[in-house]
A and B are shown apart, each in its own frame.
Chain A
Amino acid sequence: MASYKYHILVCGGTGCHSSQSNVIAERLNEIIADKHLENDVKVVASGCFGFCEKGPIVKIMPDNTFYVGVKPEDADIIIAEHIIKGRKVEKLLYVDPDTKKHISDSKHMGFYQKQMRIALRNCGFIDPENIEESIARGAYEGLGKVLSDMTPAECINVVKQSGLRGRGGAGFPTGLKWELCAKNSADQKYVVCNADEGDPGAFMDRSIMEGDPHSIVEAMAICGYSIGATKGLVYIRAEYPLAIKRLQIAISQAREYGLLGKDILGSGFDFDIELRYGAGAFVCGEETALIHSMEGKRGEPTFKPPFPAVSGYLAKPTNVNNVETFANVPIIITKGAEWFASIGSEKSKGTKVFALAGQINNVGLIEVPMGTTLRDIIFEIGGGIKNGREFKAVQTGGPSGGCLTKKHLDTPIDYDSLVAAGSMMGSGGMVVMDETSCMVAIAKFYLEFTCEESCGKCSPCRIGNKRMYEILDKITKGKGKMEDLEELRNLASVIKDTALCGLGQTSPNPVLSTLDNFWDEYVEHVVDHKCRAGVCKSLMRYEIDPIKCIGCGACSRVCPQDAISGEKKMAHSIDTAKCIKCGACYEKCKFGAISIK
């Protein structure tokens, strides 16, 4: 075997892949062949490193050198300088925004310092298409241990003792869920992995499947053994082609090595996994709708009970868990329940993966111990707000969650604290907003999403959300009344109480949380017809200051509506009736004469 001196890890996650990381890897391999370095250097296409803001990422081991924003043409200099001459390529190193110093070791970057990787333990470390790298890293050890040394009940007990709770949204204790399903006897049971991931902006589950698919395969088999199921199904949206491909490869490799199929590791236990594709409807992430969709029926939820543990897929007992929940299972088995339970907060154990997005410097995928504060996530890991602006709000929990404000910054992130603060954990989307976001418009955005994604089966969700949306729309157009705000609350409470499934039961949350935390902003829209963020266009007016305007005419030339007129060298003015508020004049004026009112 070649004794490699360097491994070059090139991120092969969807984000970096779409910025040509595969071309970088190809180019590196070409140069390596050209310079006869095949026995010294190995290029590995790995999963996501998380620092997507600065992708594509290339990491050189064993130096731990972290190159950011790498382009295919940089492959030459990486080989010529770093590999051949041993000199770091300074222009590709990350620059610390505060000290302006180059940082070469990712361990010293603010983005990584407060993170802890359990679910993402292998992402960005192994080649996800190579089962041998996974095995070398300890994959299937947990399955082996369970099959040779533990009874199903013992295994369930370990998961229970670990305190693991579902990462798909509601935070139901995983061990307890397994136990409920194990109790129901049937000729066939199913293990289902929920890989629908419908929250806008979320990509935690996708990254796990792309970066470490064997952890899901292994966990599903462990679950199957525990509850007495021999069949596993992964429900994954068809928009995730790379994750699908990596899972398919992982499943077929696992079969080939005897880690799926009949008589796994000589234990007599049989288990196999199939993929089922979803068309990307948010409601199909809800477990009953998901099961119907897999059965070839309409993706509509049904009333619970019966829970899937009693009557799920094809009316058989079915255990549904989220991708990230599963990703934690193998390491809980190998490292033990106490180890896992020692991490996190009192009622929320372990870590949580978040997709950090919005007006924040370090957009990307992060994993932190439960109980980390929002402040640490936003300002330490996230590097604070873009362009030095002011922090305004953070949205967690997606369309089911809420907007939290400055006063919540020291809230520890766990299931219960977030609910107490008026939001929820959800699956892990986290959108950070600055003063340029209008909270009424944000509430409207989420409701628009809900209206579009509501399956229409129950009327509170189908009609109620639509009515709420119409009221919000009115408010953003300056036509709202104070009674409307009252009506929003009434509708919200009826929908929460009466909707059939979790989608409707949580859909008013973005509205309620913004009403609670940004009441003044609603009142401003209604009473003063003003949008302080300048987002609601109907409430905006562009005005030219006649003193500052020198009459250069630049604004009138860019105006697509011919709404600006005036004599040359004389102050111009805007015809508000014609103005479509595109902002072109505002951008163009060099004299600061145009302002937004």
Chain B
Amino acid sequence: MAKIKSLNDLRNMQSDLQAKINLRERADHPESMVQIKVGMATSGIASGAKEVFNYLSEELQKRNIDAIVTQTGDMGYCFAEPTIEVTLPGQEPIVFGYVNIAKAKEIIDKYIMNGELVEGIIPKNYKTID
């Protein structure tokens, strides 16, 4: 390890290292960022929810969007699996059904980045423990 030579070096290092704990920092104030829950009922897993979860968390990290992507249990929309719930900061949660990777990309491109609604919204009427 080369020694840190100045306050500037330290600050650069700090921002480089940020990624190491970002996941935790975000969890401290979820309200201020994009929150996505991916429904992981048995039917959801069978229909590709895991892949969607992996895609969303990796893609959002890649694009440097402050987001918390978590999995949740059965959201109660077996007919429309995989389902995801997206909450933009300061807005009501919105649930999208039949989300595959292409749809997930569309949700990021349009809804998350630009606030444009995309097709596939279903009314929210489930509960999770929290």
Residues on A lying within 8 angstroms of B by beta carbon are 1, 3-7, 9, 40, 61-64, 84-88, 90, 93, 102, 104-105, 108, 125-126, 132-133, 135-138, 140-141, 144-145, 147-148, 256-259, 265-266
Contact of A141 among B3, B14, B21, B40 (CB under 8 A): B14
Contacts of A133 in B (CB 8 A): 17, 20-21
Distance in angstroms from B14 CB to nearest chain A CB is 5
Q: In the bound complex, do residue A259 and residue B130 qualify as a contact, i.e. CB atoms below 8 Å apart?
A: no
Contact of B6 among A62, A105, A125, A148 (CB under 8 A): A148
Contact of B129 among A40, A104, A265 (CB under 8 A): A104
B13 is an interface residue with CB less than 8 A from chain A: yes
Question: Within the assembled complex, what's the spacing in Å between the Cα atoms of A64 and B31?
Answer: 13
B117 is an interface residue with CB less than 8 A from chain A: no
Near A by CB (< 8 A), chain B positions 1-32 give 1, 3-7, 9-11, 13-14, 17-21, 23-24, 26-27, 30
Q: In the bound complex, do residue A257 and residue B11 qualify as a contact, i.e. CB atoms below 8 Å apart?
A: no
Contacts of B9 in A (CB 8 A): 265
Known interface pairs A5-B69, A133-B21; A257-B4 also in contact (CB < 8 Å): yes
Question: Within the assembled complex, what's the spacing in Å between the Cα atoms of A147 and B7?
Answer: 8
In the complex, 23 of the A-B residue pairs with CB atoms within 8 angstroms, ordered by the A residue number, are A1-B19, A5-B54, A40-B54, A61-B23, A62-B30, A62-B68, A63-B27, A87-B71, A88-B73, A88-B129, A90-B129, A93-B129, A102-B129, A104-B129, A125-B24, A135-B13, A135-B14, A136-B17, A140-B10, A141-B10, A256-B1, A265-B5, A266-B5
Q: Could you mark each residue 95-130 of chain B with 1 if its beta carbon is under 8 Å from any beta carbon of chain A, else 0?
A: 000000000000000000000000000000000011
Q: Which residue of B lies closest to A105 (CB)?
A: B130
B51 is an interface residue with CB less than 8 A from chain A: no
Contacts of A102 in B (CB 8 A): 129
Residues on B lying within 8 angstroms of A by beta carbon are 1, 3-7, 9-11, 13-14, 17-21, 23-24, 26-27, 30, 38-40, 45, 49-50, 53-54, 57-58, 61-62, 68-73, 129-130
Distance in angstroms from A257 CB to nearest chain B CB is 5
Distance in angstroms from A424 CB to nearest chain B CB is 34
Q: In the bound complex, do residue A136 and residue B11 qualify as a contact, i.e. CB atoms below 8 Å apart?
A: no
Distance in angstroms from A162 CB to nearest chain B CB is 21
Top 8 nearest A-B pairs by Cβ distance? A86-B71, A258-B3, A86-B40, A144-B7, A136-B17, A62-B27, A62-B68, A87-B73
Q: Which residue of A lies closest to B61 (CB)?
A: A3
Q: In the bound complex, do residue B72 and residue A86 qualify as a contact, i.e. CB atoms below 8 Å apart?
A: yes
Distance in angstroms from B67 CB to nearest chain A CB is 9
Q: In the bound complex, do residue B45 and residue A85 qualify as a contact, i.e. CB atoms below 8 Å apart?
A: yes
Contacts of A132 in B (CB 8 A): 17, 20
Contacts of A7 in B (CB 8 A): 23-24
Contacts of B70 in A (CB 8 A): 62-63, 86
Distance in angstroms from A14 CB to nearest chain B CB is 22
Q: Which residue of B lies closest to A86 (CB)?
A: B71
Q: In the bound complex, do residue A86 and residue B53 qualify as a contact, i.e. CB atoms below 8 Å apart?
A: yes
Q: In the bound complex, do residue B40 and residue A85 qualify as a contact, i.e. CB atoms below 8 Å apart?
A: yes
Distance in angstroms from A250 CB to nearest chain B CB is 14
Contacts of B129 in A (CB 8 A): 88, 90, 93, 102, 104
Distance in angstroms from A38 CB to nearest chain B CB is 14
Q: In the bound complex, do residue B21 and residue A258 qualify as a contact, i.e. CB atoms below 8 Å apart?
A: no
Contacts of A9 in B (CB 8 A): 24
Contacts of B23 in A (CB 8 A): 4-7, 61-62
Distance in angstroms from B31 CB to nearest chain A CB is 11
